[in-house]
Chain A
């Protein structure tokens, strides 16, 4: 793979492959009960940082590492600002008894928001330590220097451990009055490709995932979900698992599970259990999904852009173009099915899970069990990558219910079918677009309508499966996330209207999957931009540059840099003149994430086999500007992941279902991209050390589907408007072209 921004060996602080850094969970993460009170408020330095007598630093953060590397990046930020060695920092994440509530780990905000909070706390702590050192050493602050947590001046020195060891800072933070932070020119740790602290253990088999954690005396459980999603449980034949040692049935209303003293007995029991369920056929017909979406009642319309008078301009345009795009329902598809452990003791609930949102989970569990949130502690343990709200929280609710019903600690491990069938889904998206061009090919009007589920007011808590099956208290939100984002466009047309029809319902319990809404909306908008460029007979990069805000220099630079990186062949699409069996093409896409932050532009190169309709993505060029880069290699890892995962979603992925339930319950029926199909990725990282750091966990995913569609159009002159772009759809589109 050709990576332009290759950190030099010298940049790799822990280079050489030696197993120097070892990340271990702190013993506190294993302890039950609530430890001695520690501040948790966002406005207290002590909420984030504890320095012990030996100078070891513990960083407490509500943001969790979902496999993205933020544990390392956040520790870099803290170490840099405190002037301590990177490996002196230990990180405690996502423990509601110990970590500040910095918001859920979503929306590409861990560094942009969480990192800035940590940087502020560390800067305030360093200033206080410097102040104390000056008093202790009888010197002026200006005459002191700090290296590796030791303050020196006038021939004397004092360590952080001696200054603060074990004591609290008791310093307030005020977001309205930020503490001065280090000049980026002086950075020694931020901006370097520090190796990730978790990788050695993951590679040696010594890392503890949620799935590896055990509590003494616990039972193992497997849930038995209804064979039709809305079915009710009529009867259970407990004798059907008589022969499985220690296995027994646990049931409440429509919630059914088998518990046993070892995991295999729970698996076997769940497979063998005979139960009778009612019939239920409440899902729409898959073949008519988008008719169903279009016919769903609108809860409210959100106008996300309204410039000029688009209706009038459309009526007057010399040339009108319209198109409809759709994007399939996706599952998160975590490699490790969800897993959680729960224990009730003395009226208090302790929940261990891989939730991206332990602080929210705590409130949601408290509601389900009619408890005070103060009596619930949720502790994060890393699971398989979740890419949003998958089944982790549901497994936590399953475990808590089973712990309550059995009066024992219970570990729930979902099966592959549970995960594919019962995680909340990325909802289907339908988008109508219309535009008008004047006689010279200039865009005079742009109108868009997005048919997407509503976000009910009051929260982002996706209802637990267990609460629904039992009728226990639940918020019953419809929570697909902020999927209106990027429905508006970054281009300056004289007349624009964008409307999101927020639908009352959607066929499956929705949630967010990496780049929710921003991906689907950018896909439709950027494909349609390409349609307009082709209609105007203009090069697609040139066409976009014509309409970008000239004051938005970073956006323009990003698009120009990807064109340079890809050695963009300036001409209108389609390419034409290709007669062979395999046609090649290139497509561009530009995105300013949520129109306010990270810029990303890509060029996709594809090969299309005319005979079979197969698309192969051969190469992606990426220009990426997320401001100040904390860890270049970590950033590249995230960008590669965004691109590859979204190529998979775009070419292959579609949830399959009948009128009763999900039928794509394994990797054979829900295939994802495999090694031979993975594109080469070439990157240009635009680092801006003096700018704020923005998110990178999602933006590079937003640009993939349209780049592929535009490249296919360039190759064969056929426009793909329905994700996934399966060979059958390509063939059908070619037939109709």
Chain B
């Protein structure tokens, strides 16, 4: 058992763990009871677990805690916006009703938010390419692309 510090959603937190190489996903979900990042494959193939580390999208299911420094800023879907002040991507996903089961949506929003931070006026083809490694099984892709376009126009 060991404690270690993390910076998550704007707060310094301390968690108790057995294994310093436990993937970040389990720290977020099991130690910190966050519900945004989701377990989808554990193989960095689907994107459901995506979070931001220092503003970059990261697959938390294959990111060992030991690779995250205590002062690196981890942001999850919960920390991206608030119900009072949603992130433009979150707002756009609601406006476009771009959800079916929604299990992949955490990854879609986190990946898109990181992408839009560096690409102000993306084309549809660029949006599709940015999300090429995020899988959706319900077939919500068309709406998701519309939502990301809308968010790009808002911000």
* Chain A residues within 8 Å of B, Cβ to Cβ: 1, 15-17, 19, 22, 66-69, 193, 195-196, 198-200, 202-209, 211-212, 244-245, 262-265, 267-268, 333-337, 382-385, 387, 413, 415-416, 633, 637, 640-645, 648, 666-668, 672-676, 678, 680-681
Complex alpha-carbon distance, A15 and B127, angstroms: 25
Known: A384-B103, A416-B41. A204 touches B143 (CB 8 A): no
Query: Is the Cβ of A382 less than 8 Å from the Cβ of B137?
Result: no
Query: Is the Cβ of A666 less than 8 Å from the Cβ of B100?
Result: no
Complex alpha-carbon distance, A326 and B76, angstroms: 44
Known: A19-B94, A195-B94, A675-B128. A66 touches B43 (CB 8 A): no
Known: A195-B94, A385-B101. A19 touches B83 (CB 8 A): yes
Q: Which 4 pairs, one residue from A and one from B, show the smallest C-beta to C-beta distance?
A: A67-B101, A205-B36, A644-B139, A205-B77
Name 15 extra pairs, CB < 8 A, besides A206-B83, A264-B22, A385-B103: A67-B103, A195-B97, A196-B99, A198-B99, A200-B83, A205-B36, A206-B35, A206-B78, A262-B18, A335-B48, A335-B101, A640-B139, A640-B142, A668-B45, A675-B128
Query: Is the Cβ of A264 less than 8 Å from the Cβ of B23?
Result: yes
Query: Is the Cβ of A641 less than 8 Å from the Cβ of B129?
Result: no
Residue of B nearest to A208 (CB): B35
B109 proximal to A (CB < 8 A): yes
* Interface membership of chain B positions 98-129, coded 1 if the CB is closer than 8 angstroms to chain A and 0 otherwise: 01111111100100000000000000010111
Query: Is the Cβ of A667 less than 8 Å from the Cβ of B105?
Result: no
Most buried by B among A202, A263, A643, A668: A202
18 A-B pairs (CB sep. < 8 Å): A196-B97, A196-B99, A200-B83, A202-B102, A203-B94, A203-B105, A204-B78, A205-B106, A207-B102, A212-B35, A263-B29, A264-B19, A264-B22, A335-B101, A644-B139, A668-B45, A674-B135, A676-B129
Inside 8 A of A333's CB, which chain B residues have their CB? 137
Complex alpha-carbon distance, A207 and B82, angstroms: 13
B146 proximal to A (CB < 8 A): yes
Query: Is the Cβ of B92 less than 8 Å from the Cβ of A334?
Result: no
Inside 8 A of B77's CB, which chain A residues have their CB? 203-205
Query: Is the Cβ of A335 less than 8 Å from the Cβ of B40?
Result: yes
Query: Is the Cβ of B81 less than 8 Å from the Cβ of A204?
Result: yes
Nearest CB on A from B70, distance (A): 19
Query: Is the Cβ of B46 less than 8 Å from the Cβ of A68?
Result: no
Nearest CB on A from B46, distance (A): 6
Instruction: Name B94's contact: one of A199, A336, A387, A416 (CB within 8 Å).
Output: A199
Query: Is the Cβ of A209 less than 8 Å from the Cβ of B35?
Result: yes
Complex alpha-carbon distance, A666 and B61, angstroms: 14
Most buried by A among B23, B86, B131, B141: B141
Nearest CB on A from B136, distance (A): 7
Complex alpha-carbon distance, A325 and B45, angstroms: 32
Nearest CB on B from A217, distance (A): 15
Complex alpha-carbon distance, A109 and B48, angstroms: 30
Known: A263-B30, A641-B140, A676-B132. A666 touches B93 (CB 8 A): no
Known: A203-B105, A211-B38. A385 touches B138 (CB 8 A): yes
Inside 8 A of B103's CB, which chain A residues have their CB? 67, 209, 334-336, 383-385
Nearest CB on A from B31, distance (A): 8
Nearest CB on B from A154, distance (A): 43
Instruction: Name B139's contact: one of A211, A413, A643 (CB within 8 Å).
Output: A643
Query: Is the Cβ of B39 less than 8 Å from the Cβ of A413?
Result: yes
Complex alpha-carbon distance, A252 and B42, angstroms: 27
B90 proximal to A (CB < 8 A): yes
Inside 8 A of B58's CB, which chain A residues have their CB? none
Inside 8 A of A209's CB, which chain B residues have their CB? 35, 38, 103
Instruction: Name B39's contact: one of A68, A337, A666 (CB within 8 Å).
Output: A337
Nearest CB on B from A334, distance (A): 6
* Interface membership of chain B positions 63-79, coded 1 if the CB is closer than 8 angstroms to chain A and 0 otherwise: 00000000000001110
Complex alpha-carbon distance, A138 and B143, angstroms: 53
Query: Is the Cβ of A204 less than 8 Å from the Cβ of B142?
Result: no
Complex alpha-carbon distance, A637 and B140, angstroms: 7
Instruction: Name B102's contact: one of A17, A199, A263 (CB within 8 Å).
Output: A199
B145 proximal to A (CB < 8 A): yes
Known: A196-B99, A199-B94, A675-B131. A262 touches B48 (CB 8 A): no
Nearest CB on B from A586, distance (A): 20
Inside 8 A of A195's CB, which chain B residues have their CB? 94, 97
Query: Is the Cβ of A666 less than 8 Å from the Cβ of B43?
Result: yes
Known: A199-B97, A205-B106. A645 touches B86 (CB 8 A): no
Residue of B nearest to A15 (CB): B95
Residue of A nearest to B65 (CB): A264
Complex alpha-carbon distance, A212 and B78, angstroms: 14
Inside 8 A of A384's CB, which chain B residues have their CB? 101, 103, 137
Query: Is the Cβ of B46 less than 8 Å from the Cβ of A335?
Result: yes
Complex alpha-carbon distance, A265 and B104, angstroms: 25
Known: A667-B46, A676-B128. A645 touches B137 (CB 8 A): yes
Complex alpha-carbon distance, A672 and B100, angstroms: 17
Complex alpha-carbon distance, A1 and B146, angstroms: 7
Query: Is the Cβ of B42 less than 8 Å from the Cβ of A416?
Result: yes
Complex alpha-carbon distance, A231 and B142, angstroms: 44
Complex alpha-carbon distance, A4 and B95, angstroms: 17
Inside 8 A of B104's CB, which chain A residues have their CB? 335
Inside 8 A of A674's CB, which chain B residues have their CB? 132-133, 135
Inside 8 A of B84's CB, which chain A residues have their CB? 19
B62 proximal to A (CB < 8 A): no
Nearest CB on B from A319, distance (A): 40
Inside 8 A of B48's CB, which chain A residues have their CB? 335-336
Residue of B nearest to A200 (CB): B94
Query: Is the Cβ of B99 less than 8 Å from the Cβ of A199?
Result: yes
Inside 8 A of B35's CB, which chain A residues have their CB? 205-209, 212
Inside 8 A of B80's CB, which chain A residues have their CB? 205
Residue of B nearest to A65 (CB): B101
Inside 8 A of A199's CB, which chain B residues have their CB? 93-94, 97, 99, 102
